[in-house]
Amino acid sequence: MGIQWLTTNQIKYTVLYSIIQYYTVLYSIIQYYTVLYSIIQYYTVLYSTIQYYTVLYSIIQYYTILYSTIQYYTVLYSIIQYYTVLYSIIQHNTVLYSIIQYYTVLYSIIQYYTVLYSIIQYYTVLYNTIQYYTVLYSIIQYYTVLYSIIQYYTVLYSIYINK
């Protein structure tokens, strides 16, 4: 009877130990998925932040271009005023007429290079925008692959658990 009682207690403690191990493993799994959920939340917030700064960057670009355009037309208006005054002087003095012709040609050259500069700025902004969205696309691809890996391990875990 004493040996049988010892065996019964050993069985009880073995079963109790197995139950404790089971709940320890279950607790570890819950901790793993809690950490995984936190990581997913972090990258979700990071993605939202990237979107916010993308919009902010676009707004800044828009106002930068608007500011440059206003500066361009302000300078152009000043040049027009200058040439208007100069033209009035030319009407009274024929010597100045030749000088005005020179400045008119120079003004046309300046306009040509100003337009050329504006075109270069436009394509520079376009190139930078394309580069930015290329990088953003790469980041999205990276997180898509990361998400697929997480799904793979989730499925693998489900298959393992269901065995």
Instruction: Domain count for the chain, please give it.
Output: 1
Write out the chain's pLDDT in tens, 163 residues. 455 655 788 888 899 999 999 999 999 999 999 998 988 899 888 888 889 888 888 888 988 888 888 898 888 888 889 888 877 766 777 666 777 788 898 889 989 988 899 899 999 989 989 899 998 899 999 999 999 999 999 999 998 888 7
Residue 144 CA from chain centroid, whole number: 16
Domain boundaries, position 88? 2-162
pTM: 0.36
Q: Do 159 and 84 meet the contact criterion of CB atoms below 8 Å apart?
A: no
Q: State the Rg of the chain over Cα.
A: 37
